[in-house]
Structure 1
Amino acid sequence: MKRYKIISIIITLLMLISIGIFAMPILSQPTSVQPEGSMVVMPSPGIVWQDNFNPWNAPALPGGLIWLIYEPLALVNSLSGQTIPWLATNWTFTTGYVYLPNGTKVQTLALILYLRHDVYFTDGTPFNATAVWYTLALEQAYPQLGYSANQIANMTIINPYELEVVFKPGVTPMVLYTILEQWPVDPAQWGKIFPVEQLPNGTYLGLNKTGNPFTYPNTNPIGTGPYMLYSFSPQEIVLVANPHYWMPGEPRIKYLLYPSYPSNVQADTALNNGQITWAGLFEPNIQQQFVAKDPLHYHYYFAPGFPTMLTLNNLKWPLSDPVLRQAISLAINRTAIYYLGEYGYELPATTPLPLPPQQIQYLNSSVLQLAEQFAPSQGNVTAALQLLESHGYKLVNGQLIAPNGTAVPTMTIITVAGWTDWDADLTIIAQDLKQIGITVEVQTPPFTTWFNYMETGNYWMGLMWDLISGPTPIQPLSGYLYGYWNSPGNITPIGNSTYFNIERFNLSIIHPTFEQLVNWANGNFSINDNAYYSIVNKLAALWIKYMPSIALVYGAEWYEYVNNTVTGWPTQQNYYWPAPPWTSLPSTPLPVVLALHLVNQSVPEPWWYYTSQVPSSWYTSNDPFVYQTTTTTTTPSTTTSTSTTTTTTTSTTTSTTTTTTSTTTTSVSTTTSVSTSVSTTTATVTTTVSSSSNTALYVIIAVVIIVIIIAVVVLGLRRR
């Protein structure tokens, strides 16, 4: 009996050992982890990502992401006016000539761009004057792309890194911002699909008669930026550092992860739980919900920026009446939006103008007083009704009746579902307008639907970010009224898609001298301060009179960051560049400056110095966050690329006028750029023991142990 107990104990021990051996492969399986040196970015929730990286038309992408793939000629801080040369190292205004159809030679403005050397697109194509020429030519051939469309008369490639751009008569020096904020695309990619020819008379002709670059679904973005597309899904986009980037040692964050969250609620939860490193989110009670969880590492700073605008579709009656638009501005309680909708983060706009607080100082006392009159902080329903009644409107049983005797119809006001602060703002606005007899239905469609409605004019009112921003008041004021988005007789009809005059403001109602005023403002950098202030105030007075859009609150530059592993963030004390990870238009501050300042403390060296430690699955798997079950040994990586590019990060270039030169228009057709090989950084990863061979070994050992157990049991029973 004693012997039987001993045998039983031995058998039990052997079985436990066997179970442990069987469990070893399971216990040794690695869990899914975020790669070392990566960072999770959340610019804005409520968007299901779409696989379209068209730089002219990609609304359903994380804000700011596309500007890390494509780069502009220069970076412009629209709040401070700081300009950083980027793909262009310098620029000079000069004088060019164009020929009118009757043969008359006319003097006009020209610009010479000096481009950076030793820059490559991620497919190996060199960046040069051909790339800039093609990008600008494409916009002339397909004006629906906007930006520089219809502004360029002809271009001449002086040498591979110098390009002269001759503008059409009437174009002013303000076009500089449009050109500098341009992102060149790879002509080797786009030119194959949308070839462009420059005719001898300077006309640019698109040779693809069936396609449209504005609607082209570009799933393979090729740029010069610090990041490349690694993987895409509707739920998450992953960017990877560009190993051929022209700034030596940059970027130092290997991966940027962009998850998709349906609304602020889920995104805020992820932020509060430490799952997001860099965010641009609205969050109620952020001090308690976010900062208090880890005050040492969880931070935010909501700097004031350009105002959030109530955009009015003035091609729809009765919003075509500027008096009604003025009354709407009077009735809105901006303080309620500030407290209830924006949780005290965004101060009430003190004027209906599209100017940030930093630019209000340009207004003289009389214009400022008038502007403030139309933006009472708590709304002024009485003043709104008095204004309407003085122009023939009547309030009958709570219903506003227009001067023609027709009841003002029920209108809609829209924004994006899941943008909880804006959703709340709309409810407040609807309540305010009800008091002056206007019934407004709040609609919160998904982002793509909302954007499509705004583009096509399928809306009455909509909440929108400030469409036009710039380092001086001239840009936003003239941009809405004339110039950037609209031009005389060029209002896109309802039902036709256009991003470039979403506010649908009909310029034909403006006084004929207005265009001359704007041209004078834009074209005379040499005018004295008093004259400049006078122009700004005249534009502001016209804005108040016609009210094309209405400022509500000064939009916070939503910005949260976690610095337990990543450092280099802008702070309130050192706000070296606007810090939100989102952006909407190229005239807004681009996140590339911030991205290139960030350093992961756990990986102090640029990522290619430690690629020998990166699992091979990160290069081969569609999911870079799951290790393959392998045991690896590595060999040191070798870096074969060198660069002598000097990086300029703080200088500001001032445009100057030089001696007159004439231009010769030549016939140029798009050719495929010659791709050159670019040296790469390599890492050798050798698999020594595969997971399958390990598993087989474990099985063999387990079988042997089981056989031994059975033999011992049988032997014990026989002896007994």
Structure 2
Amino acid sequence: MKKALTLTALVSTLLLGAAHAQKTFTVVRPTQWGAQNMNPFAPGDQRLGATASTIYESLFFVNLLDGKVTEVLGTKYAWSNNNRTLTITTRPGVKWTDGTPFTAKDAAFTFNYIKQYPALDTTALWKNGLASAKATNDTTLVLTFNKTNTPIFSDLANVLIVPEHIWSKITSPLTEPNAKPVGTGPFVFDQYSQQAVRVVKNPNYWMKDKPYIDAVVWVSTNSNDAAQLKLMKGEADFGYIGLSDPVGGFQKKGPNNAFYWPVDNGNYLYFNTAKAPFNDAAFRRGLSQAVNTSDVALKAYAGVAKGSHSSGIIPAQLKSWLPAGVSSMKFDPVAADKALTAAGYKKDGSGMRLGKDGKALPTFKILVGAGWTDFITMATTIGENLKKVGINTSVDQQQWSSYAGGLQSGTYDMGISWGWGNGPTPYQLYYKSFDPDFSAPVGKTAPSNLSRYTNPVITKALETYRSSSDMAVQKKAIADIAKVVMQDMPFLPLTDRSEFADFNTSKFTGFPSAENPYNYGNPDDSTGARLMYLNVKPK
């Protein structure tokens, strides 16, 4: 049996092969791999880097920053039949890496395979309206729906397409290691060890002029610090690492150190609207106005992240989706103090806030993940702000299971977390955060409506949005939702939340950036990272 190469031997083989002529792009990953798994249906933390980014391809790539659609195996799409039919034209002339032609039948098979094995349907395509998937010829895929749900496009677009002639013979897709993957992507699998993985250029790739590089190598490390050091030494070209100080601790440490951390989500202070006094919108508004989100962001992220807009909409989408003149809630502790009193929450002689029943309010807990320094800092800062308006808080650190469990079961007071739903438009955030389908009674698990807040105006606007493919109709729906959210404040948007793409630019150019945001700083094994591996060029 052939032994797996050691890290040193493998890297030497990769970098010294072909007398240095090979243009190898190195990715550092702070993780260790187990089995040689390149199953495109496996969760990202169980499969090898390269699976979703270089070997398999999706129909389209949808940029979560601005909704821009990039053609991949699909070349165009159109809704019809009152938005219950989606017709996709697939790319001709594409071949699987074993030489078999790719057709729309492979795409139809993939969607039906996901239906056949529901555990693969991680975005609930078949539960959220998809009724059938058929190829009417070699370049036409027709998806029909039993209810209108146009936002589902981004989930459909992101599905990795597999070859029917191979996967039709696989009856245990969850456990299939797929050690010799056959894809349509720009690279093919070459070598693997538990410390390194290499793919090499697909000589028959359908983009004749790309990729510009010969190989991509993933090298594992045991920590973020070790990965960062490899980048700073020029031993790696890219890493997806949440650096503690990307400016002072990385960018300014060398002329080739760069990072691209675009905002595609936010961190929120969730209010549990299923319990008093958080069931009172006036109370939530008063608390929200008393929190200095700019200061929260500064202390938690050293100025890299900014305070969020109170609509929850990320910066890249604000201009497109909010009407002009809609401003964010302003930090104003004096106004907050008066508003809380006017709402019936008076102060006692010592300046502490009372409930509407005249009894002292308890010390409210702010739930965070144990050891999560950014969230702990946020909670501490929020507590300092709220104390100035007579409200006491404490930081409640919990391990992941009880942290997530508390948020989802509705047993918390306030809690800090990211948006449990983000996408190319604000719809995904509002849908996952406030649709009744994602809520549940206290004690039961709410999939993503952590505040347990619903509102008939929002529910109707969400339905209007997904029933239409007209941008004007969708924009009005989002504006209607944002107005209610900013009035009722079921959560307080705290800070922007970013992706973590870090680069060493000494050997390559063409990285994504704020000036050229062709992806959104995606992790190394994702459909967005594929675009980076296609666009980087040796200097």
User: What band does the TM-score fall into relative to the shorter chain?
Assistant: 0.7 to 0.9
Q: Given the alignment, which residue of 548, 562, 568 partners 2:504? A: 562
1:479-518 paired onto structure 2 within 5 Å? 479-482=432-435, 488-489=436-437, 491=439, 501-504=447-450, 506=452, 509-511=454-456, 514-518=458-462
Task: Go from structure 1 to structure 2 and tell me whether the alpha carbon gap of 1:322 and 1:582 turns closer, same or farther (over 3 Å shift).
Answer: farther
8 Å CA contact 2:38–2:178 kept in 1: the answer is: yes
| 1:309 lines up with 2:267 in the alignment | yes
Name the aligned partner's letter for residue 225 of structure 1. Answer: G
* Partner residue in 2 for 1:157: 135
1:415-454 paired onto structure 2 within 5 Å? 421=374, 424-425=377-378, 427-429=380-382, 432=385, 436-443=391-398
Counterpart of 1:580 in structure 2 is: 521
The 3 A distance-change label for structure 1 pair 305 and 510 is same
Structure 1 segment 128-143 matched on structure 2, within 5 A? 128-140=103-115, 142=118
What is the distance in 1 between the residues matched to 2:397 and 2:334? 20
Once the two structures are superposed, what CA deviation does each residue of 1:51-101 show, in whole Å capped at 9, x if it has no partner? Answer: 565656625369997333432211222323332211011223232xxxxxx
Cα distance, 1:219–1:319 mapped onto 2, change above 3 Å: farther
Q: Letter of the aligned partner of 1:165 in structure 2?
A: L
Verify the 8 A CA contact 2:266 2:495 in the aligned structure 1: yes
Instruction: Tell me, in whole angstroms, the C-alpha distance in 1 between the residues paired with 2:337 and 2:33.
Output: 42
Kept in 2, the 8 Å contact 1:72–1:184? The answer is yes
Q: TM-score, normalised by structure 2?
A: 0.76
Paired AA for residue 448 in structure 2: I
Equivalent of 1:183, from 160, 172, 179?
160
* SS in structure 2 at match of 1:165: strand
> Is 1:58 equivalent to 2:43 in the alignment?
yes
Quick check: 1:327–1:388 contact (8 Å CA) kept in 2?
A: no
1:273 aligns with 2:233: yes
Contact in 2 for aligned 1:355/1:476 (Cα 8 Å):
no
**What's the secondary structure of 1:560's corresponding residue?**
strand
Distance in 2, Cα, partners of 1:231 & 1:395: 70
Question: 1:114 Cα deviation (Å)?
Answer: 1.4
Residue in structure 1 matched with residue 477 of structure 2 by the alignment: 535
- Following TM superposition, by how much is the alpha carbon of 1:558 offset from its aligned partner in structure 2, in angstroms? 3.7
Instruction: Tell me the residue number matched to 1:631.
Output: none
Measured in 1, the distance between the counterparts of 2:310 and 2:460 equals 25
For residues 665-704 of structure 1, the aligned pairs below 5 Å read none
Distance 2:277 2:204 in 1: 52
Q: In structure 1, give the amino acid aligned to 2:207.
A: M
Q: Which runs of 5+ in 2 are unaligned?
A: 1-7, 16-22
Secondary structure of the corresponding residue to residue 150 of structure 2: coil
Counterparts in 2 of 1:211-222, with a 5 A limit?
A: 218=177, 220=179
- Give the 3-state SS of the residue equivalent to 1:310 in structure 2: strand
Counterpart Cα distance in 2 of 1:234 and 1:423? 35
Match runs of 1:63-74 below 5 Å: 66-74=52-60
Could you tell me how far 1:349 is from its partner in structure 2? 1.6
CA distance in 2, matches of 1:522, 1:41: 38
Partners of 1:350 and 1:380 in 2: CA distance: 18
Does residue 468 in structure 1 map to residue 413 in structure 2? no
1:256 and 2:229 equivalent? no
Choose which of 12, 16, 37 in structure 2 pairs with 1:33.
12
Q: Structure 1's 193 and 239: CA in aligned 2 closer, same or farther, altered over 3 A?
A: same
Residues 414-473 of structure 1, C-alpha deviation per residue, up to 9 Å, x if partnerless?
27x6x765564455456556763232223476xxx6997699769853432673121x44
Letter aligned with residue 256 of structure 1? V
1:538: Cα distance to partner? 0.8
Would you say the 8 A contact 1:147–1:178 is kept in 2? no
Q: Find the aligned partners of 1:444 and 1:112 in 2 and give their Cα distance.
A: 46
* Structure-2 change in CA distance of 1:92 and 1:382 (3 Å): closer
Partner of 1:346: 305
- The answer to whether the 8 A contact 2:40-2:51 is kept is no
TM-score by length of 1: 0.59
Counterpart CA distance in 1 for 2:189 and 2:240 is: 21
Q: 1:235 to 1:426 in 2, by over 3 A?
A: farther
Number of residue pairs aligned between Structure 1 and Structure 2: 511
Q: Is the 2:27–2:236 contact (alpha carbons within 8 Å) kept by the matching residues of 1?
A: yes
Distance across 2 between alignment mates of 1:236 and 1:393? 62
**2:267 alignment partner, SS class:** strand
**Secondary structure at the counterpart of residue 347 of structure 1:** coil
Report deviation, 1:124.
5.7
Deviation at 1:354, TM superposition (A): 2.9
Number of the residue aligned with 1:148: 125
Task: Give 1:372's aligned residue.
Answer: 329
Cα contact 1:42–1:278 (8 A) shared by 2: yes
Q: Distance in 1 between matches of 2:196 and 2:444?
A: 31
Aligned residue type for 2:220: P
Structure 1 493/57 Cα, relative in aligned 2: closer, same or farther at 3 Å? farther
**Conservation of the 8 A alpha-carbon contact between 1:349 and 1:551:** yes
Deviation at 1:359, TM superposition (A): 1.7
SS of residue in 2 equivalent to 1:552: strand
Q: Distance in 2 between matches of 1:584 and 1:354?
A: 26
CA deviations over 1:643-681 (Å, ceiling 9, x no partner): xxxxxxxxxxxxxxxxxxxxxxxxxxxxxxxxxxxxxxx
Secondary structure at 2:496's aligned position in 1? Answer: strand
CA contact (8 A) 1:454 1:462 kept: no
**What displacement does 1:177 show?**
3.0
* Pairing 1:521–2:470 present: no
Check the 8 A contact 1:308/1:466 in 2, yes or no.
no
For the Cα contact (< 8 Å) 1:413–1:459, is it kept in 2? no
Provide the rounded CA distance (Å) in 1 between the counterparts of 2:505 and 2:165: 40
Is the 1:427–1:442 Cα contact (8 Å) retained in structure 2? no
Show CA shifts across 1:262-291 (max 9, x none).
34x443333333333113444455455434
User: Aligned partner of 1:161: which letter?
Assistant: T
Residue matched to 1:600: 538
C-alpha deviation, 1:537, in angstroms: 1.9
Instruction: Sort the Cα spacing of 1:490 and 1:450 in 2 relative to 1 into closer, same or farther, 3 A.
Output: closer
The amino acid of 2:518's aligned partner reads W
For 2:449 and 2:338, locate their aligned partners in 1 and report how far apart those are by CA, in whole Å.
25
Does the 8 Å CA contact 1:74/1:86 hold for their aligned counterparts?
Answer: yes
Can you give the 5+ residue segments of structure 1 that lack an aligned partner in the other structure?
1-28, 96-106, 195-210, 483-487, 602-720
Report which of the two structures shows the higher radius of gyration computed on alpha carbons. 1
The equivalences for 1:12-27 within 5 A come to: none
User: Structure 1 57/351 Cα, relative in aligned 2: closer, same or farther at 3 Å?
Assistant: farther
Q: Does 1:591 align with 2:536?
A: no
